[in-house]
Amino acid sequence: MLIMFSMMMMTLTLTMFIMLIASVLSKKNYEDREKSSPFECGFDPVNSARLPFSLRFFLIAVIFLIFDVEIALLLPMPILLTFSNITYWMIISYTFLLILLLGLYHEWNQGSLDWAS
């Protein structure tokens, strides 16, 4: 028991020592204005580096990710057919597809899929 406690203390001490050395060595001594500014081919930046982001593009990307994950959940359905009862499989598959289609219809009805507007 004493050996295990001493090994734990030695491991903890060594870990703390390495963390202390890493924090001391990683400190920056000075802040340079040129190094902290965004790089633009060696010139001073003309405009702000922060550009406005299209909220419409973000919503389309989120909708794509949601439906992409749902399609990825649909892919193993034929494999699960061999391991489960056909009636339960049909109920679950059709319910999942119905929810997917209702979500698509809702997004289409709300106008979220119209990129040109």
Give SS3 for 81: helix
Whole-prediction pTM: 0.48
What per-residue confidence (pLDDT) applies to 40? 58
Closest CA to 40 of 52, 49, 53: 49
Give backbone dihedrals phi and psi of 47, rounded to 5 degrees, phi first: -115, 180
Closest CA to 70 of 90, 93, 53: 93
- Digit-coded pLDDT (tens) for 83-112: 888 998 899 889 988 988 898 898 889 887
- Digit-coded pLDDT (tens) for 33-56: 666 666 656 666 666 666 777 777
Give backbone dihedrals phi and psi of 39, rounded to 5 degrees, phi first: -80, 130
What per-residue confidence (pLDDT) applies to 77? 86
Give SS3 for 23: helix
The secondary structure element, H or E, covering residue 116 is: none
Name the one residue in this structure whose structure tokens are 């902290």.
36
